[in-house]
Amino acid sequence: MPPKGKKTEEPTRTYLGRPGNNVKIGIVGVPNVGKSTFFNCLSKLHIPAENFPFCTIDPNDAVVPLPDQRFNWLVDKYQPTSVVPPVISITDIAGLVRGAAEGAGLGNAFLSHIQAVDAIYHMVRAFDSTEVTHVEGNVDPVRDMKIIQEELRLKDIERVKKEAVGVKKLAERGLGGKEKKLEYEALCKIQEWLEAGKDVSFGTWSAQEVEILNTMQLLTAKPVVYLINVSKRDYLRKSNKYLPQIAEYVKERGGNEPVVPLSCEFELELLDLEAAGQLETYTKENPTHKSVLNRVLRMGYQALGLIHFFTAGKDEVRGWTIRKGRMAPQAAGVIHTDFEKGFIMAEVQAFTDLKELGTEEAVKKAGKLKQQGKKGRDITSLTIPKCNVSCPLACSIWKRGVLWPIRGNAAAGMQWMNVSRHESLLLPNRRRSK
């Protein structure tokens, strides 16, 4: 037991990768499992979704808004000229086959497309159909999952081995000093982990090893959300013969990755109903028949450990993205690097207070606006930054007014940053940079 009076800190997950404000997620799977159909559902585009392998060769990209009721509330409140919601870039990547890591089925090109994304939607087929062929001859979801995971892992091993050879040569020649020796040791550890059949994302890595992994952007370092494509009938009755074995396999892997059953067939039907103006009537008559697309988008975002915050004013309401646990100065830097460099302090107010009281001024008069210094641990306890900036772009953003959510979720009460006037943020006794 911990000493009396002391709280034990829960271990925090180490997220790999460096997702920016433009988050990219790739749809991956073997051929003919529903990847392009799912992409069509998300993007409401109509790219080819034919019944033969490799109907997708070049990756298809779409930018999809991330649903958020708080953002909608801000838009209704401020009625801005410009609206820029938080978004996810979705990439439909061609189907991978057994041997892709060695070039089978244009595998090397397809694997390079995966390297360019931040996370993976792993689409798995869990429906039987004589009309839709399967590249392996029959439907076996766990086998298909293993094929993809093995090909990604083999490609990572190839990449790490190649990198280790170069680093070892430099270390043996005395170039790079102790740092290269440590880097070589880290690469050997990563290679050993992969050769043991484990994904990089499941490992425990030191800060130095995380830096190396983030530089390499290995395929198995990317977080995964499993999308299990079932028939419409199975989806609506919430039963599928393949789901128990899929759940058991994911559990055995030890990564605790999310598994989301969905029906691409049903999602397309909902889109057709919406286009025909019949969706509202259908949902009233069938209240349990719901889309999971918004949930899928949120799961991808959460798998990367991301949250978003907003700038809001009459000119613009915009969503921004940052990883959980980052400090308030780093959140300010997402908008403009000068904000992070000149960060001084922050003010805190709850979103629920803003929504209840109506204006930032009313929140302040109610005594619910608090100040915290820039040494706050992370953006979950900070809001309004006060900065020393002179960049014209930065100034124009400050003048718009800024709202930043910083704590928990809507149910728990969000915290927000508010900056209404750029001039009030500049301290008179501090010299502006030129």
Q: Give the number of other CB atoms < 10 A from CB of residue 366.
A: 12
Could you tell me which residue, 59 or 368, shows the higher pLDDT?
Answer: 368
For residues 232 and 196, membership in a common domain is answered with yes
Quick check: 384 and 402 in contact, CB under 8 A? Answer: yes
Task: Report, as an integer, the average pLDDT of 231-243.
Answer: 97
| DSSP string of 327-365, one letter each residue | -HHHHHHHH-HHHHHTEEEEEEEEHHHHHHH-SHHHHHH
Per residue in 421-431, pLDDT (tens digit) is 332 232 233 33
CA-based nearest residue to 132, from 40, 39, 229, 235: 229
Does the residue 4 lie in any domain? no
For residues 58 and 195, membership in a common domain is answered with yes
The one-letter code for the residue type at 144 is D
Per residue in 202-221, pLDDT (tens digit) is 999 999 999 999 999 999 99
Does the residue 118 lie in any domain? yes
Q: Please name the helix (run of DSSP H) or strand (run of DSSP E) that holds residue 243, with its range, or none.
A: helix 243-253
Can you give the CATH number for the domain in which 170 is found? 3.40.50.300
Domain edge (last residue) among 300, 315, 344: 300
For residues 373 and 227, membership in a common domain is answered with no
For residues 345 and 243, membership in a common domain is answered with no
Can you give the CATH number for the domain in which 420 is found? 3.10.20
Number of residues that this document lists for the chain: 434
Q: In the structure encoding, which two tokens stand for residue 413, read together?
A: 């009460």
For residues 267 and 372, membership in a common domain is answered with no
Does the residue 433 lie in any domain? no
Q: Would you give the distance in Å from CA 296 to the centre of its chain?
A: 11
Q: In the structure encoding, which two tokens stand for residue 29, read together?
A: 């799977």
pLDDT number for residue 199: 95
Does the residue 193 lie in any domain? yes
Sort 194 into a burial class: Cβ within 10 Å, 0-12 / 13-18 / 19+: buried
Q: Is the alpha carbon torsion for 354, 359, 360, 366 positive or negative?
A: negative
Domain edge (last residue) among 300, 334, 355: 300
Q: Please name the helix (run of DSSP H) or strand (run of DSSP E) that holds residue 422, with its range, or none.
A: none
Does the residue 104 lie in any domain? yes
| Helix, strand or coil, per DSSP, at residue 319 | strand
Q: Give the number of other CB atoms < 10 A from CB of residue 154.
A: 20
Could you tell me which residue, 88 or 396, shows the higher pLDDT?
Answer: 88
pLDDT number for residue 388: 45
Angle, in degrees to the nearest 10, between helices 243-253 and 141-172: 20
Which residue's structure tokens are 């083999």? 154
| Cut 0.85: pTM above it | no
Dist. CA 12–CA 303, nearest whole Å: 14
For residues 51 and 116, membership in a common domain is answered with yes
* Segments forming the whole domain that contains residue 199: 23-300
| Helix, strand or coil, per DSSP, at residue 267 | helix
For residues 331 and 296, membership in a common domain is answered with no
Does the residue 420 lie in any domain? yes
Residue 105 is given by DSSP the state: G
Q: Give the number of other CB atoms < 10 A from CB of residue 409.
A: 10
For residues 337 and 412, membership in a common domain is answered with yes
CA distances from 104 to 85, 91, 97, 164 (A): 40, 21, 7, 25
Does the residue 13 lie in any domain? no
Averaged pLDDT score across all residues of the chain: 78
| Helix, strand or coil, per DSSP, at residue 310 | strand
For residues 149 and 79, membership in a common domain is answered with yes
pLDDT number for residue 104: 56
Report whether pLDDT(76) > 80.
yes
For residues 384 and 246, membership in a common domain is answered with no
Query: Domain count of the chain?
Result: 2
For residues 89 and 202, membership in a common domain is answered with yes
pLDDT number for residue 325: 75
Q: In the structure encoding, which two tokens stand for residue 25, read together?
A: 């997620």
Does the residue 2 lie in any domain? no
| Helix, strand or coil, per DSSP, at residue 381 | helix
Quick check: 226 and 28 in contact, CB under 8 A? Answer: no
pLDDT number for residue 214: 93
Dist. CA 188–CA 270, nearest whole Å: 50
Q: In the structure encoding, which two tokens stand for residue 226, read together?
A: 């499993």
Per residue in 154-180, pLDDT (tens digit) is 999 999 999 999 999 998 887 777 889
For residues 284 and 400, membership in a common domain is answered with no
- Collect all residues with Cβ–Cβ distance below 8 Å to 313 and sequence separation of at least 6: 78, 80, 399, 400, 401, 402
Residue 59 is given by DSSP the state: P
Dist. CA 330–CA 335, nearest whole Å: 9
